[in-house]
Amino acid sequence: MISQNESNVSPTSTETLSSENKQQTGNARRPGKRRRTVSLLGIFLLVILLAGGIKARQIYDLAMLVRDDAEELRDLISEDTSRLERLEKAGPALSTLRRDFELFRNEAEPFLGMGAWLEWVPVYGGDLASARDLVALADSLLASADLTYQAMIPLVEQDALVRIMA
């Protein structure tokens, strides 16, 4: 026997119940999708931060190499030896400094434009904003010093030979 409650259920009310069930099921699925999306975005952000950290470390290591090369060159120039000896030692050190600086510049170049955004930083903001220009200036000065050394060394060696023979 069919009860009165079951007989009063119309096809439209059955469709309504099934559509409500679908909406509830759909709502139950959305948080799972959101969690996956948030998890994927979090993983993506971590990967980007890790890659940025590795790149920053590479640039830092190259900057420290350039600093060490510059200190070595300064020490060679200030030694208490003859000018010719200091000049002969300084030439290869200058070439090494220039080569290492070029590596540093190539690694840091894509990020130098961000310095303009950091002008607000106390004390260092002006330097950071001018980073691209400062790197270009240092590169030009190193190129000039290296070319001057290459042009001058034959003259110095010839003068040393004349002094030895005289």
pLDDT score of 10 more than 90: no
Query: For 103-133, how does the pLDDT look when each residue is reduced to its tens digit (9 = 90+)?
Result: 999 999 999 989 889 899 999 999 999 999 9
Average pLDDT for the chain: 83
For residues 70-99, give the mean pLDDT.
Answer: 89
> Domain spans of the chain?
14-165
Number of Cα atoms under 13 Å in the Cβ half of residue 131: 18
Question: For residue 71, what are the contacts with CB-CB under 8 A and spacing of at least 6?
Answer: none
Q: What confidence category does residue 74 fall into, taking pLDDT thresholds of 50, 70 and 90?
A: very high
- Radius of gyration over every alpha carbon of the chain, rounded to an integer in angstroms: 35
- CA 29 distance to own-chain centroid: 41
pLDDT score of 2 more than 90: no
pLDDT > 70: percent of the chain: 77
Best CA proximity match to 67, nearest among 39, 96, 91, 42: 96
The structure's pTM equals 0.70
For residues 12-25, give the mean pLDDT.
Answer: 55
- Please give the Cα distance from 33 to 18 (Å, whole number): 22
pLDDT of the residue at 157: 73
- Report the range of poorest mean pLDDT among 25-39, 71-85, 115-129: 25-39
Please count the other Cβ atoms lying within 10 Å of the Cβ belonging to residue 98: 19
Question: For residue 86, what are the contacts with CB-CB under 8 A and spacing of at least 6?
Answer: 76, 77, 79
- Output 77 or 15, whichever has higher pLDDT: 77
